[in-house]
Chain A
Amino acid sequence: MRSWPVAAIVAVGGLALGFALLSGPDPNQVPTSDQVANRMMSPFCPGLTLEECPSGQSSRVRAEIDRLVARGATNAEIDRWIVDNYGEVALARPGGSLAWITPPLLAIAGLAAVALILRRRVKPAAGPEPEELSERDESRFEQDFGRFQKGSE
């Protein structure tokens, strides 16, 4: 009873950390144009990705990306092209692991806090597990409760 919250934290935390570390696109893979447009911030529409930007100028950047993809450029090469031409600010996925690791760490810290609270504060009530009501008793209870609610309106 007492050890399962710790096991849950380790399992969820491990999964979350692994997920965070592996979440980026494979640098050696050739992406589709849509994948690139979804992870590039538009230089012409503040706060929007290239995929979402309705500006006419964004079409020219998309055409450029189409050419790179057609030539077989990998994710790493395209990201380098984006940074060289538009700066690091145009990458919608932040580089560096700190941005990605922090949310799972927050979740783990929260789970640890809950587990701590529960370890200290869960006190099983005396007596056996609550007995299951039979179908017949449950039906009687529901009908009585319904009558009680109608009567209290």
Chain B
Amino acid sequence: MEISAAGQAILVAALACAVWSTLSSGLSVKGNDRRLALSGERALFATGFLILCATVLLVYAFYTRDFSLVYVHGYSSRSTSPVYTLTALWAGMEGSLLFWTLLSALYAVSAIAVQRKRRPDLTPVATGTLAGIIAFFIAVLVFGANPFDALSPIPGDGAGLNPLLQSPFMAIHPAMLYLGLTGFAVPFAFAVASLVTGRLEAGWFTSTRRWTVLAWSFLTVGIILGGAWAYMELGWGGYWAWDPVENASLLPWLTGTAFLHSVMIQERRQMLKIWNVALILGTYCLAIFGTFLTRSGLLSSVHTFSESPVGKMFLPFLAVMLVFAFGLLGWRYEKLRSERHLESMFSREAMFLFNNLLLVTIALTVLWGTLYPIMVEAVSGAKISVGPPFFNTVVGPMGLALLALTGIGPLVAWRRASWRSLKRELFLPLVAGFATVAALGFNGVRSAGAMFGLGLTSFVAVATIGEFARGARAHRGKGLLGYPRGLVTVISGNRRRYGGYIVHLGVVLICLGISGTAFRQSWSGDMLPGDSFTIGRYEVTYERARTFTTDEKAVRMAVMAISQDGRPVRSLTPQRNIHLAQDQPQSEVGLRTTLSDDLYLVLTQMDSTFAVTMRAWVNPLVAWIWIGGVFMALGMLVILSGKPPTQRGVSPGSGRAEKPVPVSV
């Protein structure tokens, strides 16, 4: 049997299973039919298995260089390395959709397998919801972007992988991003289940909190790796361009972050129930919206390699999801209303409320800026752009306010804080903040944004470290190692809280790195061998050119001698290469990274006389962004390594004991 026919047959079978799972799970709810529910679960497991088979088959086709498939021919060649042969799976539209479907299915199968015993009251609806989502994606694969489409006649070699995607960061970044975005389907499905069944008090979110944290963690790492890829591969000197596709991944991250904070209020005080359900429903809808945006080609983007007409199929799906999810929320509105009240404006709850307000406003602003060109074109026909100046100007101040709350929030007590206590806790952070501003001013810095940003960074860093110090002091033992032991005890004793603080420290370091943008320097010009220029503390000399050809590319390299503060350091070799299979030019950046700054060289042109056009940037503090990313990942690991959560007063399996609510769905 041909691989194309086999693949198509597996996808059709998977679609049938997913549709059956959706229907039987949905029908089982109305009559409380356990057999139908079980059938739905099994059909979901079968769907997962079939999608796994389809993926393995496509990977097999890649490794056996089976160019009878259009997709394999389009994204690999005989010279593609084994690692990039695997990552070619998600290099194009069809394969990446299959990969997305696989991850959705794996999440769905794992979540249902775990929760069917813990929360049998919620699993039928959750199964149906997850199966419905997966069914849609399989339908897109079968009818719109089939990775098993056959090619005839069969060519001897493939077109090869886009050279921009042949990067270690690009090998991991999409996988992480997809793991994040698809993971939000689990809390979404359980939120829908809690709304449908009316079991709104029994901690649907505690059942799925680890899944939410896991998804958020993957998304965070994916976004940071995407920035690292853009910085090291695209050669434009930056890591975030407010590109529509970047924005699309940021939107669910922002609302997901808001959810992870506000859900704590519901856990502790049984408040904000409507808000929390709305946030998690919105987060997954935004994840789907991002997929639509990426694949529709609606907006001009550096991610143009992933455009396709299948974007049109996402719009009705998104509309159905929004109407279904928020319709349910409206239906259960009265039941979700909280009886509890805030006791003080000056409490942890109120701080979380402001944190959520800022995160959601930033999300709406990014959404607005991303969609504004489409709206203007639809209304007036004019083509306009909304670029970095808009986002930096509008989002920047809100981001700084959010950073301030990151420092203040943990210092404020639940229910009602006392001014005296807070003043004492704030003293050192405020001193650190003002001292930073004064030191910057003393050193001639006049950028208000940089002074404010770095001052706040110091403030939050000291406030967060203070939390660790207080915890370590309370648990300290005797002797020299008393405090370190106390620190380990306090972190391992409350991993969720202190893991969160480690994440906050990561955010602080990332903000430190971003603040460096204010001190960025750039240079561009034409050079001949022997020419030099000075940028920041570096003197850069164009020593000589090297040109050679490999099997894959024609390389044009400029050997640049670097001297830092008058001392010679390692040479950099920025390149401008032509990838032969694709006839595509690509720049390889010359990069020298230190903790204080990066020297970033891009060769944009080299002619036959070896005259070059060179662009150079000195990007201060960028390394701290990647270090902050590592801190964030470490914090997430600490959170995830803790014990599974239980809601206060509600045991994990208490859903079974609850009185069933009549459902008429």
Contact = CB atoms under 8 A, between A and B. Distances in A.
Interface of A: 1, 5, 19-20, 23, 34, 38-39, 41, 45-49, 51-56, 58-59, 62, 87-95, 99-100, 102-103, 106-107, 110-111, 114, 117-118, 121-125, 129-130, 132, 142-143, 145-146, 149-150, 153
Contacts of B243: 47-48
25 contacts: A5-B345, A39-B387, A48-B236, A48-B243, A49-B388, A52-B237, A54-B615, A58-B604, A88-B384, A91-B384, A92-B385, A92-B388, A92-B389, A94-B390, A99-B386, A100-B390, A106-B364, A107-B361, A107-B398, A121-B341, A124-B343, A142-B470, A146-B475, A149-B493, A149-B494
Contacts of B345: 1, 5, 118, 122
Interface in B326-358: 341-345, 350, 353-354, 357
B229 to A, nearest CB: 15
Nearest to B235: A54
Contact of B372 (A90, A94, A106, A110): A94
A124 B342 CA distance: 8
Interface string B356-397: 010011001100110011001000001111111110011001
Given A91-B384, A92-B385, A54 B300 contact: no
Contacts of A48: 236, 241, 243, 302
Interface stretch (B207-215, B412-420, B529-537, B620-628): B412-420
Interface in B216-255: 234-238, 241, 243-244
Contacts of B490: 146, 149
B594 interface: no
A34 to B, nearest CB: 7
A20 B384 CA distance: 19
Given A59-B613, A88-B383, A94-B384, 15 more contacts: A19-B397, A38-B389, A47-B244, A49-B387, A56-B613, A59-B524, A89-B385, A103-B368, A103-B369, A103-B394, A124-B344, A125-B416, A142-B474, A146-B474, A146-B490
Most B Cβ at <10 Å: residue of A89, A91, A103, A122: A103
B81 interface: no
Contacts of B393: 23
A47 B386 CA distance: 9
* 5 A-B pairs with the lowest CB-CB distances in the bound complex, closest first: A92-B387, A142-B474, A52-B236, A103-B365, A56-B605
Nearest to B614: A59
Given A54-B236, A59-B524, A150 B383 contact: no
Interface of B: 234-238, 241, 243-244, 300-304, 341-345, 350, 353-354, 357, 360-361, 364-365, 368-369, 372-373, 376, 382-390, 393-394, 397-398, 415-416, 418, 420-421, 470, 473-476, 486, 489-490, 492-494, 522, 524, 587, 602, 604-605, 613, 615
B361 A103 contact: yes
Given A56-B605, A89-B385, A95-B384, A150 B475 contact: yes
A99 B343 contact: no
B340 to A, nearest CB: 8
Contacts of B473: 142
A121 B368 CA distance: 30
B383 A153 contact: no
Nearest to B243: A47
Contacts of A125: 343-344, 415-416
Contacts of B343: 122-125
A132 B424 CA distance: 11
A107 to B, nearest CB: 5
Most A Cβ at <10 Å: residue of B343, B383, B418, B474: B474
Contacts of A150: 475, 489, 493
